[in-house]
Structure 1
């Protein structure tokens, strides 16, 4: 009996500590503040990239205690330039104190994932036809309403569009091929 009690007490203490941490973090920031912080994270990395990439807002999703903000790049990024983009982003995130969590070196669909010091998950994935997708996932925070992002997109998206199209903006640098 005694052997069962100690593990249960330890498990209970760990659970209470985790709840206490989530509650204290949640009391500091609500979903709207977390979404705004996500926008700043996305704005800062996109401002770092030269020449500039053109992008539109992807969908914002709201979970039970978290928010995800997305940016979809409309600049066509050639296979030859994908490594350049991931390198710029990787260096900026490391310089910003982010901890790299996953680096996927797939030739067609590379991606990098990182975590900020305050627990926000960030990622850059390259999808079909060289389309880049940036995403920030917040830690668990207090529930609140979440407004649309106020960051102005740099590419046009038809307001009636049901889906975000594939990349359709040419860049002399980002779209360049090695031929």
Structure 2
């Protein structure tokens, strides 16, 4: 199996990246990512939460959003110092109503933000109904933003494989109303900017 080696830019991770599958992600079936690192999966999940919060909170005007369905999966036979490894996936859903006229603008804002952070854009889905952007950090954390039913924006961020540990729910604070059950609430929060059905102003701070 062909392996690549990358040096992390994040001091907290202090890791090197080579080839393990990232379970539960769209690219996991075709690409493997192993991480040579002794940090725990809990620490990796916290890093993923930080990236997620930075992404969503950097959007202006602000978006209303909620956490949903965090998951963990094993990484097969891959081990670190003989210890089993796993990967964590964090997810968030935007509950702000984003009009059809402004969804492309929000996707553009997110793509530029990720590029500015030094993340690599690994793919896009130009579908008019369900557009999406895929990216990864220098540490091989993989992320996506997809537009689903009713124009709702969904974020997903998966870690590479790290030493298995108990993983707590996200501690980063979402600004949406917490909910129970598997069904994510549909967009219901009006935004004078993102919900507007008029063409976006060329002088807008979101551009």
> TM range, normalised to the smaller chain?
0.7 to 0.9
Residue-by-residue CA offset, 1:54-85 (whole Å, 9 max, x unaligned): 00111101000100001111001111111111
Pick the aligned partner of 1:86 from 77, 89, 107: 107
Give 1:157 deviation, angstroms: 2.8
Q: Give TM-score scaled by structure 1 length.
A: 0.84
Aligned residues: 162
Give 1:100 deviation, angstroms: 0.6
Query: Residues of 2 paired with 1:123 and 1:169: CA distance?
Result: 22
Task: Identify the residue that residue 61 of structure 1 maps to in structure 2.
Answer: 71
Task: Report whether the alignment pairs 1:120 with 2:158.
Answer: no
> More strand per residue: 1 or 2?
2
Question: Contact (CA 8 Å) 1:79, 1:108: kept in 2 or not?
Answer: no
Pick the aligned partner of 1:31 from 8, 17, 41: 41
Give the direction of change, closer, same or farther, for the CA distance of 1:92–1:18 in structure 2 (3 Å limit): closer
Gaps of 5+ in 2: 4-17, 21-32, 75-85, 200-207
Larger Rg: 1
Give the direction of change, closer, same or farther, for the CA distance of 1:158–1:66 in structure 2 (3 Å limit): closer
Gaps of 5+ in 1: 1-10
Aligned alpha-carbon RMSD (Å): 2.1
Question: Contact (CA 8 Å) 2:42, 2:165: kept in 1 or not?
Answer: yes
Give the direction of change, closer, same or farther, for the CA distance of 1:128–1:117 in structure 2 (3 Å limit): same
Task: Identify the residue that residue 6 of structure 1 maps to in structure 2.
Answer: none
> More helix per residue: 1 or 2?
1
Query: Residues of 2 paired with 1:43 and 1:147: CA distance?
Result: 16
Task: Identify the residue that residue 5 of structure 1 maps to in structure 2.
Answer: none
Question: Contact (CA 8 Å) 1:100, 1:112: kept in 2 or not?
Answer: yes
Q: Is the partner of 1:136 in helix, strand or coil?
A: strand
Task: Report whether the alignment pairs 1:22 with 2:34.
Answer: yes
